Amino acid sequence: MSSENHNRLPRLHVDRENISRGEICGLSEGQHHYLRNVMRLKPGDRVRAFNGRNGEWLAEVTEISKKNTIISFAEKIREQSASPDVWALASPVKKEAFDMMVEKSAELGASHFFPVLCDHTVVPRVNRERLQAISTEAAEQCERLDVMEVSALLDIESLFETWSSGRKLIFCVERSEAPPIAQALQKLPRRSPLAVLVGPEGGFSENEIRRIKDQPFAVPVSLGPRILKAETALIAALACVQQFSE
Protein backbone atom coordinates (compact mmCIF):
# COMPACT_ATOMS: atom_id res chain seq x y z
CA MET A 1 0.00 0.00 0.00
CA SER A 2 1.21 3.48 -0.79
CA SER A 3 2.18 5.86 1.98
CA GLU A 4 1.52 8.91 -0.18
CA ASN A 5 -1.04 11.32 1.25
CA HIS A 6 -4.35 10.99 -0.58
CA ASN A 7 -6.49 12.90 1.94
CA ARG A 8 -7.42 15.66 -0.46
CA LEU A 9 -8.71 13.48 -3.26
CA PRO A 10 -12.51 13.32 -3.71
CA ARG A 11 -13.91 10.25 -1.99
CA LEU A 12 -16.77 8.27 -3.54
CA HIS A 13 -18.93 5.36 -2.50
CA VAL A 14 -19.40 2.98 -5.42
CA ASP A 15 -22.34 0.61 -5.43
CA ARG A 16 -20.73 -2.64 -6.57
CA GLU A 17 -20.02 -6.09 -5.16
CA ASN A 18 -16.27 -6.12 -5.65
CA ILE A 19 -13.37 -3.83 -6.40
CA SER A 20 -10.20 -5.14 -8.00
CA ARG A 21 -7.24 -3.61 -9.74
CA GLY A 22 -7.78 -2.54 -13.35
CA GLU A 23 -11.57 -2.80 -13.27
CA ILE A 24 -13.57 0.16 -14.49
CA CYS A 25 -16.68 1.63 -12.93
CA GLY A 26 -19.26 4.18 -14.09
CA LEU A 27 -20.25 6.74 -11.46
CA SER A 28 -23.71 7.91 -10.43
CA GLU A 29 -25.20 11.02 -11.95
CA GLY A 30 -24.62 13.00 -8.76
CA GLN A 31 -20.98 11.91 -8.53
CA HIS A 32 -20.45 12.66 -12.22
CA HIS A 33 -21.88 16.14 -11.77
CA TYR A 34 -19.76 16.75 -8.70
CA LEU A 35 -16.49 15.63 -10.30
CA ARG A 36 -17.10 17.35 -13.62
CA ASN A 37 -18.85 20.58 -12.74
CA VAL A 38 -17.77 21.22 -9.17
CA MET A 39 -14.29 19.69 -8.93
CA ARG A 40 -13.58 20.14 -12.67
CA LEU A 41 -11.64 16.88 -12.90
CA LYS A 42 -10.01 15.77 -16.16
CA PRO A 43 -9.03 12.33 -17.45
CA GLY A 44 -5.97 11.17 -15.52
CA ASP A 45 -7.03 12.88 -12.28
CA ARG A 46 -7.39 10.66 -9.24
CA VAL A 47 -10.14 9.94 -6.73
CA ARG A 48 -10.65 7.57 -3.79
CA ALA A 49 -13.40 4.95 -3.92
CA PHE A 50 -14.91 2.39 -1.53
CA ASN A 51 -17.80 -0.08 -1.67
CA GLY A 52 -18.14 -0.98 2.02
CA ARG A 53 -16.42 -4.35 1.58
CA ASN A 54 -13.04 -4.13 -0.14
CA GLY A 55 -11.30 -1.27 1.63
CA GLU A 56 -10.46 2.08 0.05
CA TRP A 57 -8.98 2.37 -3.42
CA LEU A 58 -7.12 4.91 -5.43
CA ALA A 59 -8.77 5.23 -8.83
CA GLU A 60 -8.08 7.20 -11.97
CA VAL A 61 -10.60 9.07 -14.05
CA THR A 62 -10.43 7.40 -17.46
CA GLU A 63 -13.34 9.22 -19.06
CA ILE A 64 -15.24 12.35 -18.13
CA SER A 65 -17.67 13.37 -20.84
CA LYS A 66 -20.75 15.55 -20.85
CA LYS A 67 -22.89 12.59 -19.81
CA ASN A 68 -20.82 10.37 -17.54
CA THR A 69 -17.62 9.66 -15.67
CA ILE A 70 -15.73 6.38 -15.64
CA ILE A 71 -12.96 5.52 -13.20
CA SER A 72 -10.47 2.67 -13.11
CA PHE A 73 -9.33 1.14 -9.79
CA ALA A 74 -5.55 1.36 -9.39
CA GLU A 75 -4.39 0.50 -5.88
CA LYS A 76 -5.81 -0.36 -2.47
CA ILE A 77 -4.83 2.35 0.04
CA ARG A 78 -6.74 1.20 3.15
CA GLU A 79 -7.87 -2.21 4.37
CA GLN A 80 -11.55 -2.68 5.19
CA SER A 81 -12.54 -2.22 8.83
CA ALA A 82 -15.94 -2.42 10.47
CA SER A 83 -17.68 0.35 12.36
CA PRO A 84 -18.57 -0.35 15.99
CA ASP A 85 -21.73 -2.39 16.49
CA VAL A 86 -23.82 0.60 17.58
CA TRP A 87 -27.39 1.25 16.47
CA ALA A 88 -29.10 4.63 16.56
CA LEU A 89 -32.85 4.50 17.26
CA ALA A 90 -34.83 7.72 17.05
CA SER A 91 -38.36 8.92 16.56
CA PRO A 92 -38.81 10.88 13.33
CA VAL A 93 -38.89 14.63 14.00
CA LYS A 94 -39.22 17.49 11.53
CA LYS A 95 -37.33 16.99 8.27
CA GLU A 96 -34.22 19.17 8.75
CA ALA A 97 -33.63 17.90 12.26
CA PHE A 98 -34.13 14.27 11.27
CA ASP A 99 -31.81 14.62 8.27
CA MET A 100 -29.22 15.98 10.67
CA MET A 101 -29.76 13.05 13.05
CA VAL A 102 -29.05 10.60 10.23
CA GLU A 103 -25.99 12.49 9.02
CA LYS A 104 -24.49 12.89 12.50
CA SER A 105 -25.18 9.26 13.43
CA ALA A 106 -23.22 8.21 10.35
CA GLU A 107 -20.35 10.55 11.27
CA LEU A 108 -20.31 9.28 14.84
CA GLY A 109 -19.92 5.72 13.61
CA ALA A 110 -23.35 4.09 14.06
CA SER A 111 -23.71 0.91 12.01
CA HIS A 112 -27.52 1.09 11.65
CA PHE A 113 -30.15 3.78 11.98
CA PHE A 114 -33.72 2.80 12.89
CA PRO A 115 -36.50 5.40 12.69
CA VAL A 116 -38.96 4.31 15.39
CA LEU A 117 -42.59 5.22 15.80
CA CYS A 118 -43.38 6.43 19.32
CA ASP A 119 -46.66 7.43 20.99
CA HIS A 120 -45.86 11.14 20.53
CA THR A 121 -44.27 10.93 17.07
CA VAL A 122 -45.58 13.92 15.11
CA VAL A 123 -44.38 12.96 11.61
CA PRO A 124 -45.16 9.24 11.27
CA ARG A 125 -43.33 8.69 7.96
CA VAL A 126 -39.79 8.79 6.59
CA ASN A 127 -38.28 8.73 3.13
CA ARG A 128 -35.88 5.84 3.61
CA GLU A 129 -34.18 6.31 0.25
CA ARG A 130 -33.38 9.96 0.90
CA LEU A 131 -32.07 9.17 4.37
CA GLN A 132 -29.91 6.36 2.97
CA ALA A 133 -28.42 8.83 0.47
CA ILE A 134 -27.63 11.21 3.34
CA SER A 135 -25.91 8.36 5.18
CA THR A 136 -23.86 7.46 2.09
CA GLU A 137 -22.74 11.06 1.57
CA ALA A 138 -21.76 11.30 5.23
CA ALA A 139 -19.68 8.11 4.84
CA GLU A 140 -17.89 9.62 1.82
CA GLN A 141 -17.12 12.78 3.73
CA CYS A 142 -16.07 11.32 7.10
CA GLU A 143 -13.76 8.62 5.71
CA ARG A 144 -15.58 5.63 7.13
CA LEU A 145 -15.22 2.48 5.05
CA ASP A 146 -18.75 1.18 5.44
CA VAL A 147 -22.12 2.88 5.07
CA MET A 148 -24.60 3.17 7.94
CA GLU A 149 -27.74 1.33 6.92
CA VAL A 150 -31.03 3.19 7.35
CA SER A 151 -34.05 1.03 8.02
CA ALA A 152 -37.72 1.68 7.23
CA LEU A 153 -39.95 3.11 9.96
CA LEU A 154 -40.68 0.50 12.65
CA ASP A 155 -42.52 0.47 15.89
CA ILE A 156 -40.29 -0.20 18.84
CA GLU A 157 -42.18 -3.28 19.98
CA SER A 158 -41.40 -5.06 16.71
CA LEU A 159 -37.70 -4.35 17.21
CA PHE A 160 -37.93 -5.76 20.73
CA GLU A 161 -39.41 -9.02 19.42
CA THR A 162 -36.13 -9.98 17.77
CA TRP A 163 -33.78 -8.13 20.14
CA SER A 164 -30.69 -10.10 21.08
CA SER A 165 -30.09 -10.05 24.82
CA GLY A 166 -26.41 -9.13 24.40
CA ARG A 167 -27.26 -5.70 22.97
CA LYS A 168 -27.87 -3.11 25.68
CA LEU A 169 -30.31 -0.34 24.86
CA ILE A 170 -29.05 3.02 26.09
CA PHE A 171 -32.40 4.62 26.79
CA CYS A 172 -32.16 8.43 26.97
CA VAL A 173 -34.81 9.77 29.28
CA GLU A 174 -34.99 13.27 30.69
CA ARG A 175 -36.16 14.30 34.21
CA SER A 176 -35.51 10.88 35.71
CA GLU A 177 -33.33 9.30 38.34
CA ALA A 178 -31.28 7.58 35.62
CA PRO A 179 -27.49 7.72 36.04
CA PRO A 180 -25.33 9.91 33.76
CA ILE A 181 -24.62 8.17 30.45
CA ALA A 182 -20.84 7.93 30.98
CA GLN A 183 -21.35 6.20 34.32
CA ALA A 184 -23.71 3.66 32.75
CA LEU A 185 -21.36 3.00 29.83
CA GLN A 186 -18.40 2.48 32.12
CA LYS A 187 -20.15 -0.51 33.68
CA LEU A 188 -20.55 -2.30 30.34
CA PRO A 189 -17.86 -4.34 28.60
CA ARG A 190 -15.97 -2.17 26.10
CA ARG A 191 -17.03 -2.53 22.47
CA SER A 192 -20.11 -4.55 23.34
CA PRO A 193 -23.08 -4.26 20.94
CA LEU A 194 -25.20 -1.23 21.84
CA ALA A 195 -28.22 0.74 20.73
CA VAL A 196 -29.07 4.34 21.64
CA LEU A 197 -32.70 5.46 21.81
CA VAL A 198 -34.07 9.00 21.88
CA GLY A 199 -37.70 10.08 21.71
CA PRO A 200 -39.70 12.65 19.73
CA GLU A 201 -40.07 16.40 20.46
CA GLY A 202 -42.80 15.61 22.97
CA GLY A 203 -40.78 12.91 24.73
CA PHE A 204 -41.86 9.33 25.47
CA SER A 205 -45.28 8.62 26.97
CA GLU A 206 -45.43 7.33 30.56
CA ASN A 207 -46.61 4.01 29.22
CA GLU A 208 -43.66 3.77 26.79
CA ILE A 209 -41.16 4.64 29.49
CA ARG A 210 -42.53 1.83 31.64
CA ARG A 211 -42.53 -0.67 28.73
CA ILE A 212 -38.99 0.18 27.68
CA LYS A 213 -37.62 0.14 31.23
CA ASP A 214 -39.15 -3.32 31.67
CA GLN A 215 -36.92 -4.79 28.96
CA PRO A 216 -34.01 -6.69 30.54
CA PHE A 217 -31.56 -5.07 28.10
CA ALA A 218 -32.70 -1.46 28.75
CA VAL A 219 -30.22 0.88 30.44
CA PRO A 220 -31.93 4.21 31.23
CA VAL A 221 -29.50 7.13 31.18
CA SER A 222 -29.47 10.88 31.71
CA LEU A 223 -27.74 13.37 29.42
CA GLY A 224 -27.62 16.05 32.12
CA PRO A 225 -30.01 18.43 33.84
CA ARG A 226 -31.11 20.35 30.74
CA ILE A 227 -33.88 19.21 28.41
CA LEU A 228 -32.24 18.72 25.02
CA LYS A 229 -33.88 18.72 21.63
CA ALA A 230 -34.10 15.20 20.20
CA GLU A 231 -31.30 15.88 17.68
CA THR A 232 -29.01 17.27 20.35
CA ALA A 233 -29.77 14.31 22.61
CA LEU A 234 -28.89 11.74 19.93
CA ILE A 235 -25.65 13.48 18.97
CA ALA A 236 -24.61 13.92 22.62
CA ALA A 237 -25.38 10.27 23.41
CA LEU A 238 -23.54 8.91 20.36
CA ALA A 239 -20.54 11.13 21.11
CA CYS A 240 -20.34 9.50 24.56
CA VAL A 241 -20.89 5.99 23.20
CA GLN A 242 -18.11 6.54 20.66
CA GLN A 243 -15.62 6.93 23.53
CA PHE A 244 -16.46 3.45 24.78
CA SER A 245 -16.92 1.59 21.54
CA GLU A 246 -13.74 2.18 19.50
Site residues for ligand SAH per CB under 6 A: 172-174, 198-199, 201-204, 222-224, 226-228, 230, 233
Q: Decide whether 173 or 184 has the Cβ nearer to ligand SAH.
A: 173
Q: Decide whether 100 or 133 has the Cβ nearer to ligand SAH.
A: 100
Q: Decide whether 39 or 236 has the Cβ nearer to ligand SAH.
A: 236
Q: Decide whether 41 or 89 has the Cβ nearer to ligand SAH.
A: 89
Q: Decide whether 106 or 230 has the Cβ nearer to ligand SAH.
A: 230
Question: What's the min distance (Å) between Cβ of 111 and ligand SAH?
Answer: 20
Q: Decide whether 149 or 174 has the Cβ nearer to ligand SAH.
A: 174
| Three-class secondary structure assignment of the chain | CCCCCCCCCCEEECCCCCCCCCCEEECCHHHHHHHHHHCCCCCCCEEEEECCCCCEEEEEEEEECCCCEEEEEEEEEECCCCCCCEEEEECCCCHHHHHHHHHHHHHCCCCEEEEEECCCCCCCCCCHHHHHHHHHHHHHHHCCCCCCEECCCEEHHHHHHCCCCCCEEEEECCCCCCCEHHHHHHCCCCCCCEEEEECCCCCCCHHHHHHHHCCCCEEEEECCCCCCCHHHHHHHHHHHHHHHHC
Question: What's the min distance (Å) between Cβ of 10 and ligand SAH?
Answer: 36
Question: What's the min distance (Å) between Cβ of 210 and ligand SAH?
Answer: 14
Question: What's the min distance (Å) between Cβ of 156 and ligand SAH?
Answer: 12
Label residue 128 exposed, middle or buried (CB < 10 Å: 0-12, 13-18, 19+): middle
Residues forming a β-bridge with 1: none
Give the CB-nearest residue to ligand SAH.
199
Could you tell me the maximum CA-CA distance found in the chain, to the nearest angstrom? Answer: 61
Question: What's the min distance (Å) between Cβ of 174 and ligand SAH?
Answer: 4
Question: What's the min distance (Å) between Cβ of 237 and ligand SAH?
Answer: 8
